[in-house]
Amino acid sequence: MSIDPGQTASYSTAARIGRWIIPAIPFGWTWIPDFGIQKGGENVTPSNVYLQEDELLAGDQLVLYIHAQIAIMKRTFKDPVIAGPVPSQFRGAEDSSMLMLKHQPMNQMSVFQVQHYMRNDRWIGVVTLTTLESELLKVRPDFEQFLKLLRIAPPPEPAPTASIASPYRGR
C-alpha cells in the first residue's frame, strides 16, 4: 500500500485485510491495520470505512444474508431508517448489493452508514462507511474513490493432500 494517501501501490505491495486488497487510500484518510481507513479533523467526529469478511452458512443468496443483517440492525439501533438493499456492481464479485442505514446513538447526532455487500461463492465481503449525516456529502466522494480501487483477492488455494505410500502396494 502506498504510504502517501492518494498514491496507488501495486497489487503485490498493497495492504490486505483478509481477501480485501487495498492498493491506495484517499488523500486525508489514515490507514488502520486490520480495520480499514479513517478521516478525522479538528472538532469533527471521525468518519470510518471498515472492511470485514464473513461466510454464507447456507445457500448462495446474498439477499438472505443481508436480510439477516437488517434484522440485527433493527434489534441493535433504536428506530433505524433502512434503505435497500439495492443491487450494485463490484468488480470480481458474483453478486453485490448496497444498503443505507441512519440511526441516532446516545448523543443524538444522526449517524449514516453506507454498506456494500459482495459475494463470491460462500465468501461475503462487507465495506461499511460510517459518518455523521452532516459529513456524508464531504466524505462520500472519497468513499466512492476507495471502492473503485478496492479489489477482492482470489480464494486461497487448498492445501495439497499428501499421499501416503502403502507398504503393501505391489505385493
Across the chain, which has 171 residues, the per-10-residue mean pLDDT values are 46 80 93 93 86 87 91 89 93 92 81 93 93 91 94 81 57 49
> Parallel, antiparallel, or unpaired: how do β-strands 20-22 and 151-152 relate?
antiparallel
Look at the chain and report how many structural domains it folds into. 1
d(CA 92, CA 55): 16
* Residue 46 covered by a domain: yes
* Residue 164 covered by a domain: no
pLDDT at 24: 92
Give the residue among 60, 55, 125 at the shortest CA–CA distance from 93. Answer: 125
pTM for the model: 0.81
* Residue 157 covered by a domain: no
d(CA 74, CA 101): 10
First to last CA, the chain: 57
* Residue 43 covered by a domain: yes
Percent of residues in the chain assigned helix, strand, coil, to nearest 5: 20, 40, 45
pLDDT at 3: 41
d(CA 109, CA 45): 10
* Cβ–Cβ under 8 Å, residues 96 and 115: no
Residue reference for cell 500500500: 1
3-state secondary structure of 127: strand
Range(s) of the domain holding residue 113: 15-152
* Residue 48 covered by a domain: yes
d(CA 47, CA 5): 16
* Residue 160 covered by a domain: no
**CATH number, domain with residue 25:** 3.40.1000.10
* Residue 9 covered by a domain: no
Q: What is the DSSP-derived secondary structure letter of residue 164?
A: P
* Residue 124 covered by a domain: yes
